[in-house]
Amino acid sequence: MGSSRAGYEIPPGAGINTGRKHEPLPLSELLNSRFWEYKMHFGESYLQAATMLQPVGGMDAIAKAFEQRVGRLIRYKAEVTEIKQNSDGVQVIYRDRKSNQYQSVDGKFAICTIPLSVLTNIKADFSKEHQAAITVGASSYNRAVKVGFQSKRRFWEEDYNIYGGISWTEADIIQMWYPSTGFHNPQGIIVGAYIWSNDISKRWEAMTFNQRLSLAISQGEKIHPGYNQEVSVANGCTVAWGKVPYSQGAWISWEQDSRKKAYQVLNEPEGNVYFAGDYMSYLSGWQEGAILSAHKIVNDITTRVQNS
């Protein structure tokens, strides 16, 4: 008989209108879809469960708020090229990308927040053990790819009564995300692909932007017939984090074994260099992990200085 969980073909209403439920899908089809593996209860998992909050104005509002408070301390366009230690502490050498000149800063301690995927290619006089741990971490990154479109109209609301949430697919695009704000505005942004399987990501990284956008449209068409009339390559954008030079990956996914070994090595300072970032937490892939890690390292250094 099925349940109302899948919704109604005819919604229940007043009087004698009991509504008509969608025909249940055959059990074999449900099992074959592997939907049950995690997609069905994705929103129940510890890291994805309600209540989820979004920064007003977009995710970079958080970085901008930090900038407002500590911007005077930031050196922009400074690409770290080498980390060296000496008897006084740490020297960080960087290339000023405006002047193309190399400069350095010296300090007693350094907190390195460069992702391991990038750090692995930066010259440093780290111990073999630390360098090996960085190499392991660098090879553990998820290479997420996203596609987004500005849609002519909010067809998901007007035609499907979808207000936020995710459609999971078996296609490369994996997911389509619907905005959970701006309901009934004339237009909206739809996430047309959110790929976090490295095999698929690598194939998509090799495509041109337009190829990615076209493929996302044709795959989304299967979920929403007529989609290709609502979104277009001209109004799309895409990011492959594996190809972003200063990220070279989206977030780290430590294997159980490397959590026990490489992660533990990096949890200890290399001389006066400390490692911080979401990758040094059990909340990797989340800003909260980065912030908790920063707090931990500042405390570690404070304790070390107080005890010295």
Ligand X SMILES: Cc1cc2nc3c(=O)[nH]c(=O)nc-3n(C[C@H](O)[C@H](O)[C@H](O)COP(=O)(O)OP(=O)(O)OC[C@H]3O[C@@H](n4cnc5c(N)ncnc54)[C@H](O)[C@@H]3O)c2cc1C
Task: Report the interface residues with ligand X, using CB under 6 A.
Answer: 79-80, 113-115, 118, 122, 144, 146, 241, 246-247, 250-251, 277-278, 285-290
Nearest approach in angstroms of CB 159 to ligand X is: 27
Residue of this chain nearest to ligand X (CB atom) = 277
Min. distance of Cβ 84 from ligand X in angstroms?
15
- The tokens describing 190, both together, are 């739809």
- Shortest separation between residue 54's beta carbon and ligand X, angstroms: 8
Comparing CB distances to ligand X, the nearer of 145 and 213 is 145
CA distances from 46 to 124, 135, 228, 288 (A): 37, 29, 35, 14
Q: Which is nearer to ligand X, 191 or 221 (CB)?
A: 191
What is the distance in angstroms between the CA of the first residue and the CA of the last residue of the chain?
Answer: 72
Rounded CA separation 133/209 (Å): 34
Closer to ligand X by Cβ: residue 23 or 288: 288
Shortest CA distance to 210 belongs to which of 141, 290, 149, 169? 149
- Least distance (Å) between residue 196 CB and ligand X: 8
Q: Which is nearer to ligand X, 122 or 132 (CB)?
A: 122
Q: Which is nearer to ligand X, 80 or 230 (CB)?
A: 80
Q: How far apart are CA 130 and CA 126, in angstroms?
A: 6
Q: For residues 72 and 103, give the distance between their C-alpha atoms in angstroms, rounded to a whole number.
A: 18
If the CB atoms of residues 205 and 221 are measured against ligand X, the closer one turns out to be 205
Q: How many C-alpha atoms does 180 have within 13 Å on its Cβ side?
A: 12
Q: Token match 């920063």: residue?
A: 294
Q: Who's near 188: CB < 8 A, 6+ residues apart? A: 150, 151, 153, 154, 156, 157, 178, 179, 182
